[in-house]
Amino acid sequence: MTDQNIFLNNFSYTKWIITLLLGFSAGVLDVSFFYIIIGIVMWILYRCWKPSTEPSAIKCQDKAKEQAKVPHKVTDREFERLRYLQVLVNNSWPYITKYLEKFLRWRIQPLIRSRFKYLTNFHFFDIDFGNKAPQVTHMRVQSDPEKKQILLDLKISLNAAVMVNVGISKTIMAGVKSVKLEGTLRIILAPLIPDVPFTEAVNIYFPRRPVLHLQWTGLTNLLNIPGLHTMTERMIVDQIANFMVAPKFFTQPLAANFDMKNLPFADPWNALRIHVLEARNLVANDFFSKKSDPFVVVRGGGTVGKTRVISKNLNPQWNQTFEILFSDLPGQEIEFEVLDKNVQRDDSLGSCKIAVPHVLKKKFIDKWIRLDNVKSGELHIKVETLKLFSDRDKLQKVLNLNKRPRPPKSEELSSVALYTVIQKARGLPVIRVSHK
């Protein structure tokens, strides 16, 4: 048994309870919203790894393997954990809403004012997220002793009445009266340590973009505000993705000597070369020509790439290459979306995804992938992993390999990856922002 497993198994009941109480006490004192999360997470881990007198008790890491083989069925023990977890989420919701209100006033409001010249007097007026907390429908806990981390996945669903009014100067012009949000929130405790607080940091993110639906009031007035009409639900999700959807994640340090370099997924050391080759049997969106003008958007690693548009073709050939760096953050994917180019709005011709860990394991993939959410269509892609060398003497060899003959109109291949880390800044000016 590894030291990490001994640490998990020998954790005393008292330590878990003390940690939980500290988390809630910090929340009551309005120290930090994230300490409430610490209390919840530690309580869950105690419930998950506590010794059981049942002879058929299964550890959480074994459950994750079983769930991959059989359909998920909520057992009595799992139901009990979810029920008590929901109680904790409900009790924490008032503190979470306070954090969200501060986030809108201090982060989103200045962002909108600076981005749109017509919205320098933009205001959030009434902000009330209601008393209905998100529902936790599923929970999964996994441990990775080798990387000294614990993963907690929470499937959350929120369908509640809210009141968020926005406007210009002192005039309320529009608002949101209900929110529907569904997604999986992942919490990673890493790296684990044998002393309080038992983990150096809490890392929070969405492995995939959450689904968001907003019901607006005064939508006619909203559309009359210059610039604001472009802030669709997708743009709001994009803003969430900028700091909370993989590969982005939020880190709350807990240990005094925490260093981001200690996180196993902090740096993007995995280089992937993605070839978008061709498609076949695409859907015809143009009613008159019975054709489409397809192009492909490639998303992954926080990077977005686009192929050229091929006019009036249902079996296009692009032969374009994209190179993206990925970290070891769990749950990352490469997304391919085929679109039909239009003047007003591009229409979807289907999409598909490939899991990054699958590519890293196989090293090389060359396959046709069926496009989802359309009647027909397949995309031919090729993905290969690139080995990064720190030895400059091998650069010439890489340059020679990249000079090999390639298909016409293909991009020049990269030979070097430059990764820059911003350590710190000082002497920055102080900017006062009104939160009223």
Question: Looking at the DSSP assignment, which residues form a beta bridge with residue 370?
Answer: 378
- Closest by CA position to 219, among listed 269, 166, 152: 166
Contact indicator for 177, 161 with CB cutoff of 8 Å: yes
- Closest by CA position to 188, among listed 200, 175, 166, 204: 204
Per-residue pLDDT of the chain (436 residues; tens, 9 = 90+): 554 444 444 444 444 444 544 554 454 445 455 555 666 666 655 555 554 444 444 444 454 444 444 444 445 555 556 777 788 888 888 888 988 888 888 878 887 788 777 778 888 989 999 999 999 988 888 888 888 888 888 899 999 999 988 888 888 778 888 999 999 999 898 888 888 778 888 899 999 888 888 887 876 555 555 555 455 566 667 777 777 888 889 888 888 888 888 888 888 889 999 999 999 999 998 878 889 999 999 999 988 999 999 999 999 999 999 999 999 999 899 999 999 998 878 899 999 999 999 999 999 999 999 999 999 999 999 999 998 877 778 788 788 877 776 666 566 777 788 777 777 889 888 876 554 5
- Cβ neighbors of 209 (< 8 A, separation 6 or more) are 183, 237, 240, 241, 245
E strands, 134-292, in order: 135-144, 149-168, 171-189, 201-205, 211-217, 250-253, 270-280
* Residue tagged 């995995």 (tokens): 270
Question: Looking at the DSSP assignment, which residues form a beta bridge with residue 390?
Answer: none
In angstroms, the CA 420 to CA 278 distance is 34
Contact indicator for 163, 127 with CB cutoff of 8 Å: yes
Residues 267-288 as b/e (b if ≥16 CB within 10 A, e otherwise) read ebebbbbbbbbebeebbebeee
In angstroms, the CA 377 to CA 361 distance is 27
Q: What is the second-level CATH architecture of the domain 270-402?
A: Sandwich (2.60)
Contact indicator for 217, 30 with CB cutoff of 8 Å: no
- The structural domains of the chain, with segments of one domain joined by +, span 3-262, 270-402
In angstroms, the CA 369 to CA 351 distance is 9
* pTM of structure: 0.71
